[in-house]
Structure 1
Amino acid sequence: MIKNIIFDFGDVFINLDKGIIFREMEKFGGSLDLTPELVELNGVYEVGGMTSEAFVAQLQNQYPKANAVEIENIWNSMLLDFPEERLEFIENLASESDYRLFLLSNTNDLHITHVEQKMGAERYARFKKPFEKFYLSHEINLRKPDAEIYQFVLDENGLKAEETFFIDDTKENTDAAEKLGITCWNIQVGKEDIIQLKSKL
């Protein structure tokens, strides 16, 4: 019996355009492909391993034609809209009190600051309120799909894997959680929506 639900954030609640960064950076001499250097840099930044200033400075080394403001704007441009029906959905789910709700997101300081500004403080507070815990990778120094991050959430909250349901748009992340005995929904962006959750439980 499912008692706990863990939600991803990007492309589950807030819409993303993950490719826009590379399309925009190409204008500054960057590659359209995700280079090993960028993967490593993003991984360090997502677990709080460097400041936003250091991260932007590192990107400037790779894209010397872009200034710091341009890089920040491009980095944040992947964050799109947050449909109201998804916000109302999570508020209604919380009000029913049938499940313990958690958020678990690979994110970073620049992105979450931008999301709060974009949504507005009141709407962002509405989003956080339904969750018992709001786990952001750069704050807990762990990231998906490492097994440690799922175990951390289970252990810190006394959750049993077999009673826990996890939603993420990245198959690598749901595959890792399933190995711990967590039931998962690898949500198909553009074909499925989080508001259909109850049909998946």
Structure 2
Amino acid sequence: MIKNIIFDFGDIFINLDKQIVFKEMKKHGIHDFLPRLTPLNEAFEVGSIGPDEFLNELHLHFPQVSPLEIKRIWNSMLLDFPEYRLQFLEDLAKQQDYRLFLLSNTNALHIPHVEQQMGKLQFERFRNCFEQFYLSHEIKLRKPNQEIFEFVLNENNLKASETFFIDDTLENTVAATPLGIKTWNLLVGKEDIISLKERL
């Protein structure tokens, strides 16, 4: 019996355009963005480096792009947060049938931008739906490292067999499965979080 639900954030609640960063950088003549900068992004996502260091390091790699423009491009992947999804989540929280948790790979640039874009009131409505709101750059762990799932389970005394995890990235749901966590790899564009009850 499922008692706990762990949600990813991007493309589960807020819509993303994961390709826009590459498209925008190409406008500046940059075509080899990854994989050589993957370690930098991962360090940023676990809070090993701060926003200024991240932007300055990217600027060193791509001097034709200012840190301010890099920040704009980096945040441009964050799109809208449909009200119907927020309403669905609030209704789920009010029913109190499950303990709800957020577990997101994110960074110290994205979260302030999301809060500004959504508006403080709407962002607080979202945050208040969860018992715990785990952001990778704050807890110094990121998916798909199994340690992050063990952290959430242990921190909240959750049984893996009673826990359901939703993420749009297959690598992340695959990592959670060996621990005994039930998972849903949500297919973006084909599935929506509001059909959660059909999955439980």
Question: Normalization by structure 2: what TM-score?
Answer: 0.98
Hey, what does 1:128 align to over in structure 2? 127
| Contact 1:29–1:63 (CA under 8 A) maintained in structure 2 | no
Residue identity matched to 1:187: L
Amino acid at match of 1:6: I
Check conservation: 1:28, 1:64, Cα contact below 8 A: no
Aligned-partner Cα distance in 2 for 1:62–1:26: 14
Helix, strand or coil at the partner of 2:100: strand
- Superposition pairs for residues 42-191 of structure 1, below 5 Å? 42-191=41-190
* Count of residues in Structure 1 that have an aligned counterpart in Structure 2: 200
Greater displacement, 59-68 / 117-126: 59-68
> By how many angstroms is 1:28 displaced?
1.7
Once the two structures are superposed, what CA deviation does each residue of 1:130-164 show, in whole Å capped at 9, x if it has no partner?
Answer: 10000000000000000000000000000000000
CA distance in 2, matches of 1:63, 1:116: 28
TM-score, normalised relative to structure 1: 0.98
Residue identity matched to 1:3: K
Q: Give the deviation of 1:34 after TM superposition.
A: 4.9
Unaligned runs of 5+ in 1: none
User: Match of 2:149, as an amino acid?
Assistant: Y
Change (3 A) 1:148 1:40: same
Distance in 2 separating the partners of 1:62 and 1:187: 34
* Alpha carbons 1:100, 1:132 under 8 Å: kept: yes
Structure 2 unmatched runs, 5+: none
In structure 1, what is the Cα distance between the partners aligned to 2:60 and 2:19? Answer: 20
SS at 1:179 equivalent: helix
Percent identity, aligned pairs only, is 63
RMSD of aligned Cα (Å): 0.8
